[in-house]
Amino acid sequence: MSTALHPTWCDPAHCDVPDRQPLGARGGAHRSKLVALNLEAEARGETGHVYAGLAQSARPRAGVFLKWIINGEVVGHLPLADAEPLAWLIADGLANLRGDDQPIEHAKAPDQ
């Protein structure tokens, strides 16, 4: 038997990885709490509120995915590494909203 370890973002209320599994077994998935996005979306003819969260299978070397959920159903997922450029844009935007950054001038060639 082995004791399960969880990523820091994993929420016990959403994770279904067993606390103890036979050696070599990796059942279930780690899941974060769901974050409500302030928007509604239409998917597959359904309209509903959109939630986002992280998920990762307990299998060895499984990737972490950002997923979108509408009406309790996962309607899209993105490898977290592919979401990194968007995450940096959001971080910059949030720093701007908090006033933690300073606007900059763009360096342009003289004839632009």
List interacting residues with Zn ion (CB under 5 A): 6, 10, 15, 17, 30
Which candidate, 58, 59, 60, 54, places its Cα nearest to that of 79? Answer: 54
CB of 6 to Zn ion, least distance (A): 4
Position with the least CB separation from Zn ion: 15
Q: Count CB neighbours of 57 within 10 A.
A: 16
Cβ-based nearer residue to Zn ion, 4 or 43: 4
Q: How far is the CB of 74 from Zn ion (least distance, A)?
A: 17
Helix (H) or strand (E) holding 93: helix 80-98
Look at residue 96 and give its three-state secondary structure.
helix
We find the least distance from the C-beta atom of residue 20 to Zn ion, in angstroms, to be 13
Q: Among residues 50 and 55, whose Cβ is nearest to Zn ion? A: 55
